[in-house]
Structure 1
């Protein structure tokens, strides 16, 4: 596997409105824990669409992992032009700080937002350009990742396409092991 599509919940779907929320640390640690063995097995690219939440936190982890694994590369492929345009200034600054360090940045649709179909196209494009999916999604807690997860399961029927999932149980385990280490 050379290319991984990383996605999951948007920050507001998790009730997280600041990047210094303690839950973000657990999510990042779970992403790192999932990415590290994949990189060691030859993963070269991580693709994200640049959504606030799991995707940008995951992008941060990829950039952090470059210190140890300089061969790993980050691509931010937004669904449409200027996706961050309506975000508040703090979120725009955060977004730009990440994409400025990415190895590749482009927009799938060369137009600004027009309709939800652009998001569907983004899912299919990223699934087709990747060899596997890492998704933070729990089937007991629906949200926007459900669409990607269901598309990935259909994609998996057509070709060998591993789906690596981070659930809320995994995050709970991460939090408990972290708390045990630092008690």
Structure 2
């Protein structure tokens, strides 16, 4: 995995080749025990990833959080087996004590570490947590992408809704796979 921020920014200089993911945390995803619903969600992520790839996208960025971000990254890694030109970019909001926040359960930490190890590129935008770090990360993802693929319920508020709305204000096309 390449972690040098300058190399990553150079690789991502063609914004038209980049896609970002945004979505809910585990509590707003299908129940882990509902394998059918989770499989359908992964199929939607896969279909949108392949569609974006066929449209010339090569870099797939995710925000490195438990829930949809990790699920999307895992799906991209599966798709990458058939489309090896795909590059997965893991963008953590901060580095120090990242897995200490309340969202992180042991299973999600394990999955996140596997995703990080298998990513082509990885970076943390800040060394430490600060108020607003997640919104800064969300804007960074959109500002380096030409498409945002999200999983956002109709009435959701918070980071996912903010990110999709921000993308639309920046004239970045969005796809919400919540109801597909």
Q: Is TM-score (shorter-chain normalized) higher than 0.5?
A: yes
Q: What is the aligned residue count?
A: 162
Q: So what's the TM-score if we normalise by structure 2?
A: 0.82
Are 1:2 and 2:13 an aligned pair? Answer: no
Partner of 2:174: 163
Computing the radius of gyration over CA atoms, which structure comes out larger, 1 or 2? Answer: 1
After TM superposition, where is structure 1 displaced by more than 6 Å over at least 4 residues in a row? none
Q: Structure 2 residue aligned with 1:42, among 56, 63, 70?
A: 56
Unaligned 5+ segments in structure 2 are: 1-15
TM-superposed CA distance for 1:19, in Å, is 7.6
Report matched runs for 1:116-131 at 5 Å: 117-131=132-146
CA RMSD of aligned residues (A): 1.8
Are 1:110 and 2:144 an aligned pair? Answer: no
Secondary structure of the residue aligned to 1:30 is: helix
Distance across 2 between alignment mates of 1:166 and 1:23: 13
Partner of 2:37: 23
Q: Structure 1 residue aligned with 2:65, among 51, 76, 88?
A: 51
Given the superposition, is the C-alpha separation of residues 164 and 153 from structure 1 closer, same or farther in structure 2, using an over 3 Å criterion?
Answer: same
Q: So what's the TM-score if we normalise by structure 1?
A: 0.81
Secondary structure of the residue aligned to 1:51 is: coil
